[in-house]
Amino acid sequence: MYNNMIEPYRKLTIGILISSLCILIGAGHGVAPMILFEVMIPFHHNYPLLFTLQRDYEFNLAASAIFLLVGQILLFFTTVKRALIARLFSLFILWVGFFYLIHGVFSGDGLAMFSFCTGIPFLWMSVQLFIYDVRQYLYKPVEDEEE
């Protein structure tokens, strides 16, 4: 029974990690996946690390990449540990990073809309994992609580 319950979770987690790395961002005069920006954060001096949402799309890239990177690392480690609260916390951090990236959608920013459209698979799978975790927590057998 345990393997049947863990299989959808692993698929969703792998899908979230891959889709969050593949969110496309508009940087300069081109397009790049988020993983490229996450790896190059220490080398980017053109994108200051600001945690304000009142700036343009380009100024939120570094903060968004840091939130997404921390969330991805936490989510990766929770696949091994199976800690529900840590997994939900990692999803929250990923959602905050995604919001930092796309908050300009509400003001008509085209780059933010582009990133939102490429991030829809990530958003969908992360919501599915959240629902899966909440259901698993609410309907867990009494024997599991005693362990």
Q: What is the pLDDT of residues 22-41, one digit of tens each?
A: 888 887 778 878 887 777 77
Give a yes or no: residue 13 inside a domain.
no
- The H or E element that residue 24 is part of is strand 24-27
Give a yes or no: residue 146 inside a domain.
no
DSSP letters of 69-101? HHHHHHHHHHHHH--HHHHHHHHHHHHHHHHHH
In this structure, are strands 30-33 and 24-27 parallel, antiparallel, or unpaired? antiparallel
Q: Look at the chain and report how many structural domains it folds into.
A: 1
Give a yes or no: residue 11 inside a domain.
no
Average pLDDT, the chain: 80
Give a yes or no: residue 48 inside a domain.
no
Compute the half-sphere exposure of residue 124: CA atoms within 13 Å on the CB side of its CA: 10
Per-residue pLDDT of the chain (147 residues; tens, 9 = 90+): 445 556 677 888 888 988 888 888 887 778 878 887 777 776 666 666 677 776 677 778 888 888 999 999 999 888 776 778 888 899 999 999 999 888 888 888 888 898 999 999 999 999 998 998 888 778 776 555 554
Give a yes or no: residue 115 inside a domain.
yes
Alpha-carbon gap, residue 129 to 90, rounded angstroms: 11
Alpha-carbon gap, residue 57 to 27, rounded angstroms: 9
Confirm whether pTM is higher than 0.85: no
Burial class of residue 59 in the structure, from the number of CB atoms within 10 Å of its CB (0-12 exposed, 13-18 middle, 19+ buried): middle
- The H or E element that residue 33 is part of is strand 30-33
Give a yes or no: residue 2 inside a domain.
no
Give a yes or no: residue 88 inside a domain.
yes
Give a yes or no: residue 32 inside a domain.
no
Tell me which residue range forms the domain holding 80. 64-139
**Beta-bridge partner residues of 32:** 25
